[in-house]
Chain A
Amino acid sequence: MKTAAANKKIRSRRTLSKNDRFTLAAFIGIPTLMQIIFLWLPALITIVLSFTYWNGINVGDIKWAGIANYKNIFFGTPVFYEALKNNAIWLLWFTFIATPLGILLAYQIDRKIKGHKLYETVFYIPVVLSLAIIGIIWNFMFQPGGFIQGIMGRDIGNAISIWGNYDINTYVIMGVASWRHIGYIMLLYLAGLKSVDSSLREASAIDGATEWQTFRKIVLPAMRPVNIIIVVITIIESLRAFDLVYIIYGTSTAWPLLNILVFQNFAGQGISMKGAAYAVILLVLCVGPILLYLRAVFKEDLK
């Protein structure tokens, strides 16, 4: 009896009927095909195109360019370095200011201080808003004739420049981006904190450790998997930054970012494959964080 059942099990596991094989093939094939056609194939096309000269219209016009586009970008386009600088500022700000604030907020809210439910909601709302709406909201705040200008008593004629003032516009943009990012990090961390054994924390408190010490020595190490995720998300969001700046500045590179440069060159009045090259540079920068993420998340499977 037992042997027969066991044999049947083994047989079932080893031999799949033709129908089953077909089903499995379909199950795997359809989504994979979709991914390849709509995601990986276009990405590949972009990579190949970055080595050509083309104006985006007639396929017959494509000419091989070798690394000319890249040479142009690295040696002949100062706005590229400005964009890199801005992406770097974005990254640094997110890493050292926005993300830590999110983590801190999460920690405090998790301790169930007074009003924590309300706070959790308030800080998270910007995350569920479309960036198109965030753009409108902040334009209201800053536009000539808007709230901030109004507070300073300036109307449209003598409104001080915000988006065009290079001393302050970076901070303003970072502030608005953080407005959203902090809530996102906060919620991710909150979710992770729930998995930290609370008895560990209580024990540490009884032992006389301050909250800060508890956080550093107990919570942070226990949250290692989440920490890695947070780091990767922070990096990737800084590299992918686009929507907000696009809404404020359009495609003019008044405050350049890598993504804006891609758009300006890949679309627009004069299409050039420099845009593809920018996209590839962006991809190369993202590869590191993506691999880090994959390794962290699939650690056990990879072993």
Chain B
Amino acid sequence: MTTIVRDKKYRDKQKRKDNLISIFIGFFALVWIFPILWTVWTSLRPYNDIISYGVFSWPKNLNFDNYFNAFRQMGLTRYFLNTLYVTVPAVLLTLFLGSLIAFVVSRYSFKFNLSLLLLFTAGNMLPIVLTYIPVFWLYIKIGDLFGNRSLLYNNYLGIILVHVAFQVGFATFVLSSYMKTVPKEISESAIVDGASVFRHYWNVMLPLLRPPLAALGVLMSCWIYNDFFWALILMSQDSKRPVTSALRQLQGEYVTDFNLLAAGAVIVAAPTVILFFVLRKQFVSGLTLGSTKG
């Protein structure tokens, strides 16, 4: 009898504590999201209002004008296209190459398997600044080799390749972790049936990799989309830059019209945020596979 009463008291106390915790975290969360809310709020107010009445004035107009103007004046469409040209091939190529290594390393026992895995995983963690100037020089030299300086420099291909190089390690690691959980029997029967290595990979393993590939695809799209640094170094033409790098130029252009800039920032942030909301499960599982092992 007393145990039950004691339990109930304990549970009630815990519940009250929990409610307090929830409120506390809730307050924290409000502070957390406030800067974003403020930016969105700023984007909905016309610039003239702020000039005339100050930042904290009660809104006379709330509209999406800034958003229309942002698209029109900032040339966002072109920058978004650039982002697409870079992100999609980079993600696909990363997943493809990562799956190749992961496949070989987990299905065939070569002596160098572990070294390869270590090499790839470590590569993912190198500081970018270690490589960016030599990458630039390499691009110029390789371009000269083929007679076209713009083969890699100031070219989507150049940025795609460098993103792939940096991300393929993570993809390899995640995919090989996952492949370890795929029963060896499937592979063995395929080999017994006389499948070539290629068939083994393409027809047998690849279809089974849908979950981690999806998860990785979501994560990588987010990371590559968000990068702004490489394009600053490797693209000399502003019109070819992805949308996140273009923001820097726009920041200077519209530094006085921050309502317009706010709208621009919201537009650029939208894709990844929407991606996160819609594909949250993939996001989380991608990180899970990458951070915890088995």
The answer on a CB contact under 8 Å between B226 and A30 is no
CB-nearest residue of chain B to A246: B229
Q: Which of A30, A211, A282 contacts B97 (CB 8 A)?
A: A30
Chain A at the B interface: SS class = helix
In the complex, A246→B233 CA distance in Å?
14
- B143 is an interface residue with CB less than 8 A from chain A: no
When chains A and B are docked, how far (Å) is the Cα of A179 from the Cα of B128?
22
> Once the chains bind, are A38 and B127 in contact (CB under 8 Å)?
no
With A129-B273, A283-B127 as given contacts, are A119 and B26 in contact (CB-CB < 8 Å)? yes
> Are A286 and B126 in touch, CB under 8 angstroms?
yes
B interface majority secondary structure: helix
Partner of A294 from the list B108, B116, B121, B164 (CB cut-off 8 Å) is B121
| Shortest distance between the CB of A67 and any CB in chain B (Å) | 18
A46 to B128, CA, bound (A): 11
Interface size (A, Cβ < 8 Å)?
A: 100
- The answer to whether B138 touches A23 (Cβ under 8 A) is no
Q: Does A125 contact B (CB under 8 A)?
A: yes
A240 to B101, CA, bound (A): 27
* B138 CB, nearest partner CB in chain A, Å: 6
In the bound complex, how far is the Cα of B42 from the Cα of A125, in angstroms? 19
Q: Are B104 and A34 in contact (CB under 8 A)?
A: no
Which residues from 29 to 56 on chain A have a C-beta closer than 8 Å to any C-beta of chain B? 30-32, 34-35, 37-43, 45-46, 49, 56
Within the assembled complex, what's the spacing in Å between the Cα atoms of A282 and B228? 21
Q: Scan A127-161; emit 1 where CB is below 8 A from any B CB, else 0.
A: 01111110011111100011100100000000000
A residues in contact with B269, CB < 8 Å: 129-130, 133
Cβ contact within 8 Å between B265 and A133: yes
The distance in angstroms between the C-alpha atoms of A139 and B255, with both chains bound, is 10
Per-residue interface assignment for chain A, residues 259 to 299, with 1 indicating a CB less than 8 Å from any chain B CB and 0 otherwise: 10011001100000001100110110010011001100110
Set of chain B residues within 8 Å of A195, measured between Cβ atoms: 292
| A229:B275 contact, CB within 8 angstroms | no
Nearest-CB residue, chain B, relative to A182: B32
Cβ contact of A128, chosen from B164, B273, B284, cutoff 8 A? B273
Q: Does the CB pair A140–B126 fall under 8 Å?
A: no
> Are A56 and B165 in contact, CB atoms less than 8 angstroms apart?
no
- Nearest residue (CB) in B for A294 is B118
Q: Is the CB of A13 within 8 A of B161?
A: no
Once the chains bind, are B121 and A259 in contact (CB under 8 Å)? no
With a CB–CB cut-off of 8 A, which chain B residues contact A283?
A: 126-127, 130
Q: Give A122 to B161 CA distance when docked, in angstroms.
A: 33
Select which of B55, B129, B268 is within 8 A of A133 by beta carbon. B268
Q: Residue A137 contacts which of B19, B36, B225, B277 (CB distance < 8 angstroms)?
A: B36
The answer on a CB contact under 8 Å between A119 and B25 is yes
Residues of chain A contacted by B186 (CB below 8 angstroms): none
User: Known contacts being A23-B198, A28-B101, A191-B284, is A141 close to B129, with CB within 8 Å?
Assistant: no
Q: Considering only CB atoms, which chain B residue lies closest to A208 in the complex?
A: B10
- Determine, out of A70-78, A110-118, A166-174, the stretch whose residues face the partner at the interface: A110-118
Interface residues of B in 257-294 (CB under 8 A from A): 258, 261-262, 265, 268-269, 272-273, 275-277, 280, 284-285, 287-288, 291-293
- A20, A31, A136: the one contacting B261 at CB < 8 Å is A136
Is A24 an interface residue, CB under 8 A from the partner? Answer: yes
- Is B18 a contact of A113 with CB atoms below 8 Å? yes
User: Can you list 9 pairs linking A and B with CB atoms under 8 Å apart?
Assistant: A9-B192, A27-B104, A28-B104, A32-B116, A39-B126, A126-B36, A132-B244, A191-B291, A242-B128
Q: Are A124 and B276 in contact (CB under 8 A)?
A: yes
Min CB distance, B275 to chain A, in Å?
7
Q: Which B residues touch A19, using CB under 8 A? A: 196-198
Whether A242 lies near B129 (C-beta < 8 A) is yes
Q: A111-B18, A191-B284, A226-B291 are in contact. List 14 more A-B contacts (CB 8 A).
A: A8-B192, A24-B104, A31-B98, A34-B168, A35-B168, A113-B25, A128-B222, A129-B272, A132-B226, A136-B265, A141-B35, A229-B291, A297-B121, A301-B117
Compute the total of residue contacts between A and B using a CB distance below 8 Å: 268
Query: In the bound complex, do residue A24 and residue B245 qualify as a contact, i.e. CB atoms below 8 Å apart?
Result: no
Q: Does A121 reach chain B (CB closer than 8 Å)?
A: yes
Contact call A130/B228, Cβ cutoff below 8 A: yes
Residues of B within 8 A of A137 (CB): 35-36, 38-39, 265
Q: Closest A residue to B228 by CB, please name it.
A: A132
Could you tell me if B122 and A294 are in contact, using CB atoms closer than 8 angstroms? yes
Q: Is there contact, CB below 8 Å, between B25 and A31?
A: no
Question: In angstroms, how far is the closest chain B Cβ from the Cβ of A179?
Answer: 7
Q: Given A8-B192, A262-B129, does the pair A39, B166 have CB atoms closer than 8 Å?
A: yes
> Which residues from chain B contact A208 at a C-beta distance below 8 Å?
10
CB-CB < 8 A to B116: which residues of A? Answer: 28, 32
In the complex with contacts A147-B38, A262-B129, A140-B258 CB distance below 8 A: yes
Looking across the interface, which residue of chain B has its beta carbon closest to that of A287?
B122
Q: Please tell me if A188 contacts chain B, counting CB pairs below 8 Å.
A: yes
Measured CB to CB, the closest approach of chain B to A57, in angstroms, equals: 10
Chain A residue with Cβ nearest B11: A205
Which A residues between 56 and 108 are near B, CB-CB below 8 angstroms? 56, 105, 108
> Using Cβ atoms and an 8 Å threshold, which residues of chain B touch A128?
222, 226, 272-273, 275-276
Residue among A35, A109, A262 with max Cβ neighbours from chain B (10 Å): A35
- State the 9 A-B residue pairs at the shortest beta-carbon distance, nearest first: A38-B165, A130-B226, A42-B134, A42-B131, A191-B288, A45-B134, A31-B97, A20-B197, A262-B129
Contacts of B198 in A (CB 8 A): 19-20, 23
Give Cα A122 to B132, complex, Å.
34
Minimum Cβ distance to chain B for residue A194 (Å):
8
